Amino acid sequence: MNQHTRQLHELGQSLWLDQISRPLLRSGTLQRYINEFSITGLTSNPTIFDHAFAGDAYDDSIRLLHGTGLDGEALFFELALEDLTEAAWLFRPTFDATAGRDGWVSLEVSPLLADHAAQTVQAATRLHERAGLPNLFVKIPGTTQGVIAVEEAIFAGVPVNVTLLFSPEHYLAAAEAYLRALERRLTAGLNLRVASVASLFVSRWDAAVHEDIAPALHNRLGIAMAMRAYRAHRDLLASDRWQRLAKAGAQPQRLLWASTGSKDPAAPDTLYVQALAAPDTIDTLPEKTLLAYADHGRIGAVLPADGGYADAVLEEFRRGGVDDTALAERLQREGVDGFATSWHAMLSRIREKCLTQTVPHST
């Protein structure tokens, strides 16, 4: 087992891979990452699948599924669930050994539903039922309508990965939805073991302000925001409100670091992974970042539960003209729009493959 990734695992941080493709599964590469790099989960999104479909690895499956009458989103979800079912089985030993705390895979609802709570709940419920996997998270964006959907989905028993969170306020809105859903389940006499993670995106902060700030502030804002979110998370877990739910059998909604690949060529390629080492959290890494960390990553200081110097850093940015509240909302909307663009591109790619391939007739 790799010593660098093992150190994070021993610290209590779960490492998940932010990548999926059929070659990754069928070549044994994902199993190798599990064995060698302590990978204990996996996330996906529309952009990842769009890139995966660009090659020819899915052409035969697309042809066969199209021949059964499937197309568009229905065909996509069939392909995605085939892959995620394979991945889920690879992580099932971890899921069982940790009593459902770890060992998860994630599949996103259509990003076109981000501003429609009721439709999102319906889509999430259908995906959960269709997959039939105990360790599949349905990803729902933490938009205003998305947070409403998160509460209803959790109340209905659907495990949820709340995605596209950027600020401590975004995180707390997702956490509040989780708490409300569990309290409603407790009142209704339902089992409280419905898992959730809250995914905070980090590096996009720094990419957004890079051209507008002094070089001394480069690549510091995302980490400061993560530190503030971690403080909010630790405070919530210490609250009487959470402790009542925990005593009734609830498990914490885990905090997940997303967008942890360095986007600045001048920054270390393991910058965010090293800075965000913290127990009881999850770091989902792009494949390139995972390989870099396995090669030369090092744990520095463990993330402080009290937020450390984050407030002072944020004040520097505010003095420099950065409105972090407005920027958080912009980044979330850009995230939704970016996934929607990938969604349309992915469906267009599938349609093109359906049109250029004919289904063989039996003789």
- Residues serving a catalytic function are 139
Name, in order, each residue with C-beta under 8 angstroms of 313's C-beta and a sequence gap of 6 or more: 220, 221, 223, 224
Tell me how crowded residue 210 is: count the other CB atoms within 10 A of its CB.
17
Provide the b/e sequence for 71-95 (b: ≥16 CB within 10 Å): eeeebbbebbbebbebbbebbeebb
Tell me how crowded residue 313 is: count the other CB atoms within 10 A of its CB.
18
DSSP string, 63-126: HHHHHTT--HHHHHHHHHHHHHHHHHHHHHHHHHHTTTSS--EEEEPPGGGTT-HHHHHHHHHH
Tell me whether residue 175 is exposed, middle or buried, using C-beta atoms within 10 angstroms of its C-beta: 0 to 12, 13 to 18, 19 or more.
buried
Cβ-contact 86, 117 below 8 angstroms: no
Cα–Cα distance for residue pair 310/236, rounded to 1 Å: 18
Name, in order, each residue with C-beta under 8 angstroms of 179's C-beta and a sequence gap of 6 or more: 241, 242, 245
Residues paired with residue 136 on neighbouring β-strands, in sequence order: 105
H/E run at residue 168: helix 168-187
Residues paired with residue 284 on neighbouring β-strands, in sequence order: 16
Nearest CA to 293 out of 277, 273, 279, 265 is that of 273
Q: Are strands 14-18 and 39-43 parallel, antiparallel or unpaired?
A: parallel
Cβ-contact 281, 302 below 8 angstroms: no
Cα–Cα distance for residue pair 33/24, rounded to 1 Å: 10
3-state SS class at 190: coil
Cα radius of gyration (the chain): 20
